[in-house]
A and B are shown apart, each in its own frame.
Chain A
């Protein structure tokens, strides 16, 4: 069988790539995609812990289901906001949207 550490290290790699994407990218859609990568890493962790360590409870698997549900809602809402910002400001780059900065 595959030891649990393999899954946890894979999830760590995915999460760090997500961190890199969120910090390095300028475009809001690309940042959103990096956030999706981080959510995937979290889901892998939840399921790995659930099936390896606490198989009699399904808390981890249930949490992964909720992560996917909330991620779907988040993507829809975030894309609505990005669309509205693009209509108002003519850009989807987060460093050019600085109306709140004095």
Chain B
């Protein structure tokens, strides 16, 4: 086993451990901390896929902003103070659906014939990525900024308190 595979299996184990923690933890705050672990481990997976830019974006946006937002939402909705069941009654059905999807996807991956070289990673250079993003993908990029702006305004209007109206 090459050292790359050893690193991959380590990072993948951490990712799956964190994801298991997110869906199985008995406390919402523990769940959020496991989510941070899983997101940072996924950034490691991105580095193994030689997509360093996405790893940086992942750590900045997910590891920073998204988890802080989620922790804030937990604080504001006081889910921590309620000692009630976090899971609904449909747990067995959920486990069945997840297991069925997992079996199906693993089967599809293993039985597929991948075209091209599936053993070699080609590094995507930063410069060409930026070129592609701002030339061929300029319109989707602008639409994404519009979506962000609308989401920002919408979140402010939704979360604003009644007295301010």
Query: Do the beta carbons of B23 and A12 come within 8 Å of each other?
Result: no
The A-contacting residues of B in range 98-114, CB under 8 angstroms, are: 98-99, 101-102, 105-106, 109-110, 114
B45 and A7 contact, CB distance less than 8 A: yes
What is the CA–CA distance of A68 and B118 in the complex, to the nearest angstrom?
25
Which residues of A1-27 are within 8 A (CB) of B?
Answer: 1-10, 12-27
Are A34 and B22 interface neighbours, CB within 8 A? yes
Interface pair A4/B114, CB less than 8 Å apart: yes
Contact of B23 among A9, A21, A95 (CB under 8 A): A21
Question: Secondary structure at chain B's binding surface: helix, strand, loop or mixed?
Answer: helix
Tell me whether A68 and B19 are in contact (CB under 8 A).
no
Contact pick for B110, options A5, A13, A70, A74, CB 8 Å:
A5
Residue-wise, chain B 83-122 has the 8 Å CB interface mask toward A (1 for contact) of 0111110110111011101100110011000111111111
| A43 CA to B32 CA, complexed, in Å | 20
Asked if A12 contacts B105 (CB within 8 A), the reply is yes
Contact, CB under 8 Å: B73 / A2: no
A-B contact count (CB 8 A): 240
* A32-B28 Cα distance, complex, nearest whole Å: 12
Pull 30 A–B residue pairs with CB atoms less than 8 Å apart, ordered by A.
Answer: A1-B2, A3-B118, A4-B114, A6-B12, A12-B105, A13-B19, A15-B101, A16-B99, A25-B86, A25-B87, A25-B88, A27-B79, A34-B22, A43-B42, A47-B46, A51-B51, A51-B121, A51-B124, A62-B133, A64-B54, A69-B144, A72-B66, A75-B69, A77-B151, A79-B73, A80-B156, A80-B159, A82-B77, A83-B77, A84-B158
Closest 5 CB pairs of A and B: A55-B122, A23-B94, A80-B158, A73-B151, A12-B105
Query: Given known contacts A51-B49, A58-B132, A76-B155, what 17 new A-B pairs fall within 8 Å (CB)?
Result: A3-B118, A8-B105, A12-B101, A17-B22, A20-B94, A25-B86, A33-B32, A34-B22, A40-B62, A44-B49, A51-B122, A55-B122, A65-B133, A70-B147, A72-B65, A73-B148, A86-B76
